[in-house]
Amino acid sequence: MALLELDDVHVYYGNIHALKGVSLTVDKGEIVTLIGSNGAGKSTTLKTISGLKHPKQGKITLEGKRIDAVEPHRVVTMGVCQAPEGRRIFPRLTVLENLEMGAFHRNDKAGIVEDVERVFELFPRLRERRRQQGGTLSGGEQQMLAIGRALMSRPQLLLLDEPSMGLSPILVETIFQIIQEIHAQGTPILLVEQNALMALQVAQRGYVLQTGRIVLQDTVENLAQNEMVRRAYLGET
């Protein structure tokens, strides 16, 4: 049984049919990437998994349990946490408080302290700035905070929405290294990216989303060879 499975998921914004039957799976131990252009429905897919949107049709299961009608805060408790698009850190909470919010549903004080330590090891910059307000961080630091905050819930599955957006090339490298490190420590990741080049380097499998439909799914090696992917997402002519 797959860790996460979307089966023919349809999502609407009012009359707009945003997801037109998306099916995908993420297994334990995987990094799976979802690539596509602006407006293809990548973020909508993640929002729907997190429970911010509810599908009109289709089902979403986490280890066999239906989660498509579950409220977002319950989805976190069930083990799926998201670092959303645009980071969405709490600007007037300190770095430490932001991390504590990530662990909101947990009550194991010792474990939380341990995990804060783990996040600080992943992102030493955050340790330096732990008493600073989130809003005063640079874009890269905010992205680190967003990922660290999501990790604080000890997710069974981590959803990352455009972690490289707006970052300098060096920072993008750093972020992707850390994504691999998180994966190596045992957390499966569903990665949404516009930067397909980077995404295809770190993931094992990938899906290509176009106007609300999965048009292609394969291993990253095959996707990287695919003519359409090369033209549309890897910038080759």
Partner 1 sequence: MTQTELLIQLLINGVTIGSYLALIALGYTMVYGIIELINFAHGDIYMLGFMISLTLLGVLGVRGTLGGWELWAVLIGVMLATMLCTGLLNMTIDRLAYKPLRRAPRLAPLITAVGMSFMLENLAMIWKGSSQIFYPNVFPMIDIPNQVLGMKTNVLFTTKDVLLIGVTVPLMVGLSLFIRNTKMGKAMRATAQDREAAALMGIDAENVIRTTFFVGGALAGTAGMIVGLYLNTGRYLMGFDAGLLAFTSAVLGGIGNVTGAMLGGFFIGFLQAFSDQYLSSEWTRIIVFTTLILVLVFRPSGLLGQRTPDKL
**What is d(CA 145, CA 89) in angstroms, rounded to the nearest whole number?**
7
Other C-beta atoms closer than 10 Å to the C-beta of 232 total 17
Closest CB to partner 1 among 56 and 73? Answer: 73
Closest CB to partner 1 among 12 and 90? Answer: 90
CB 106 to partner 1: min, Å: 9
Place of tokens 């998921």: 9
Other C-beta atoms closer than 10 Å to the C-beta of 135 total 11
**What is d(CA 18, CA 13) in angstroms, rounded to the nearest whole number?**
7
User: Could you list the residues that contact partner 1 (CB under 8 A)?
Assistant: 50-52, 71-73, 76-77, 81-82, 84, 88-93, 97, 100-102, 104-105, 149-150, 153
Closest CB to partner 1 among 88 and 213? Answer: 88
CB 77 to partner 1: min, Å: 6
CB 20 to partner 1: min, Å: 24
CB 84 to partner 1: min, Å: 6
**What is d(CA 122, CA 128) in angstroms, rounded to the nearest whole number?**
13
CA angle 134, 106, 92 (to 5 degrees): 15
CB 176 to partner 1: min, Å: 22
Burial of 133 (C-beta count, 10 Å sphere; 0-12/13-18/19+) = middle
Closest CB to partner 1 among 50 and 229? Answer: 50
Other C-beta atoms closer than 10 Å to the C-beta of 185 total 10
CB 24 to partner 1: min, Å: 20
**What is d(CA 80, CA 66) in angstroms, rounded to the nearest whole number?**
13
Closest CB to partner 1 among 106 and 213? Answer: 106
CB 168 to partner 1: min, Å: 24
Closest CB to partner 1 among 76 and 171? Answer: 76
Smallest CA-to-CA distance from 68 within 45, 48, 44 is with 48
Closest CB to partner 1 among 101 and 178? Answer: 101
Q: Looking at 63-203, which runs of residues are DSSP E strands?
A: 65-66, 80-83, 157-161, 189-193
Q: What is residue 235's three-state secondary structure?
A: coil
